[in-house]
Amino acid sequence: MEFAIHKVLHGDVHEYVVCHIASKQAALRGIVPDDILDDLSNTVEERVESIKTGLNEARWHYYYAAFDNKMIGRLIFGENDDETQPKTGLIASIYLLPEFWGRGLGRKMMDFAVEKLKSMGFRKVILWVIRENARARRFYESYGFAHDGAEKEDIQGEKLLIHMRYSLNYKN
C-alpha cells in the first residue's frame, strides 16, 4: 500500500473538491451546524471553478494525498497575507477522509507542507483551527504548533465559532 502527495492539476479538481467536502463534513460534524455542512454538497461546481482559478495564482499551492492511487486528502498552503506576521507561511487547509485518520498520514501531509514552506523562505508557519475542534487541536499540538493567543470570530448559521491561530517556529 502506497501513500503519496501530488500537485493538483486541472483534471484533478472535481475529485479534489468532492474529497474535501467529504473530509470537511466528517471533521466538523458536531462543531459546525449540520445544515451548513450538508449544504457544502450543493457547492461543488462553484468550488471547482474557484480552485481552477487558484491553480493559476502564485500565492497558493494545492496538493492532494493519495493512498493506493485514491485521493484521500487535501492540502493548501502558501504565503500568509497578514503584514504583522512577516516571513510567515500559512497552512490554509489540511483534511483527510475519516477512514484514514489515526494512521500517521496527516503527519506526513503536515511534514510535506512545513518543509515546502521552509524551502520557500518562511521562518514560521501558522494555521487557524476552530476552538471546539479538539481532535485537530490535539493533532497540531502534538506536531509542535501552539496557540499564540490570536483569535477571530466566525458566524456559521446561528452559531458563533472562535478560530484560534496556531504557530510553529522552525528549528534552526
Closest among 84, 66, 83 to 74, alpha carbons compared: 66
Question: Residue 123 and residue 118: Cα distance in Å, rounded?
Answer: 7
Domain spans, the chain: 3-169
Query: CA quadruple 153, 97, 40, 157: dihedral positive or negative?
Result: negative
Cα 34–chain centre separation = 20
Per-residue pLDDT tens for 86-108?
889 999 999 999 999 999 999 99
Question: Measured between alpha carbons, how far is 7 from 83 in angstroms, rounded to an integer?
Answer: 28
d(CA 77, CA 113): 7
Rounded to an integer, the average pLDDT of 20-46 is 96
Q: pLDDT by residue (tens digit) across 68-81?
A: 999 999 999 999 98
Pairing, β 88-96 against β 124-130: parallel
Facing residues of 162 across strands?
153
Render pLDDT for 138-154 as a digit per residue (tens, 0 to 9): 999 999 999 999 999 99
3-169: CATH homologous superfamily? Gcn5-related N-acetyltransferase (GNAT) (3.40.630.30)
